[in-house]
Amino acid sequence: MAKRIDVSGLTAYYGSHKAIEDISMTVEPRSVTAFIGPSGCGKSTFLRTLNRMHEVTPGGRVEGKVLLDDEDLYGTGVDPVSVRREVGMVFQRPNPFPTMSIYENVAAGLRLNGSYKKSELNDIVERSLKGANLWNEVKDRLNKPGSGLSGGQQQRLCIARAIAVEPKVLLMDEPCSALDPISTLAIEDLIGELKERFTIVIVTHNMQQAARVSDRTAFFNLSAVGQPGRLIEIDDTERIFSNPSVQATEDYISGRFG
């Protein structure tokens, strides 16, 4: 189910501004890859090129290749809509649909894309909420609005919504930055469970979090403000945090930097 991502020579622009340049990396299936790096170095931009959300931004443009198990996401004739069904996304701020109940939020991806039987949907909703460790907290109020949940619960609701459509890859952009330590822990545990089924990429500013949850870590940096961000190195998380091969990585991780 999980798929490998192979990026080669990827450059992304906002209008004429080059945000990231010439990034190549491989993301292994059934693993967690963390992106770290200073603010503005293009982590979010790069993440959004992996499911073609980058081009939703006005002026957003991408050059290069992203292979999802040998299929180029930017090849001719590829429909971004089907790409996004394969590669799901969780955003920094929880964003449940305000007009929908908890149940409808989880079912949204399926319902908006086709028709399912009621019993089928019930099963998927329950499975997804259990998968997101939220089932016990909301099973008695599935018909209440999703916006009535706490921030941490809302974020897990968004994760449930994302995994309900059974993507192959799950992208998470700082999913815990708006959450308290306990919710953060809940989501980190969840990531540990989800990696059995999905390929996971997570952007984080929290070094400990990267060290805790990820198998591999990629460090991004930019040489100067206004310059495009680049991938400095990607390696096993243990190596990155103990013995990185580039000095800049060590400086960043040990806090001797910006």
Please choose, from the candidates 171, 169, 155, 174, the residue with its C-alpha nearest in 3D space to the C-alpha of residue 37.
174
Helices (H) and strands (E) in the chain, counts: 10, 10
Residue 99: which of ligand ATP, another protein, Mg ion, none does it interact with, CB under 5 to 8 A by kind? another protein
Q: In a 3-state reduction of DSSP, which class is residue 8?
A: strand
Question: H-helix or E-strand containing 156?
Answer: helix 151-164
Residue 95: which of Mg ion, another protein, ligand ATP, none does it interact with, CB under 5 to 8 A by kind? another protein
Residue 44 binds Mg ion, judged by CB under 5 A: yes
Edge-to-edge strands of the sheet including 87-90? 71-72, 60-68, 5-14, 17-27, 229-236, 216-222, 32-36, 199-203, 169-173, 87-90
Residue 133: which of Mg ion, another protein, ligand ATP, none does it interact with, CB under 5 to 8 A by kind? none
Neighbours of 242 (CB within 10 A): 11
Provide the binding-site residues for another protein, judged by CB under 8 A. 51, 53, 56, 58, 81-86, 88-89, 91, 93, 95, 97-99, 108-109, 112-113, 141, 144-145, 147-149, 158, 161-162, 165
Q: Which is nearer to ligand ATP, 160 or 231 (CB)?
A: 231
Residue 56: which of another protein, ligand ATP, Mg ion, none does it interact with, CB under 5 to 8 A by kind? another protein
Least distance in angstroms from the C-beta of 19 to ligand ATP = 4
Q: Which is nearer to another protein, 30 or 85 (CB)?
A: 85
Least distance in angstroms from the C-beta of 87 to another protein = 9
Question: H-helix or E-strand containing 25?
Answer: strand 17-27
User: What single-letter DSSP state applies at residue 54?
Assistant: G
Q: Which is nearer to another protein, 131 or 244 (CB)?
A: 131
Binding residues (CB under 5 A) for Mg ion: these are: 44
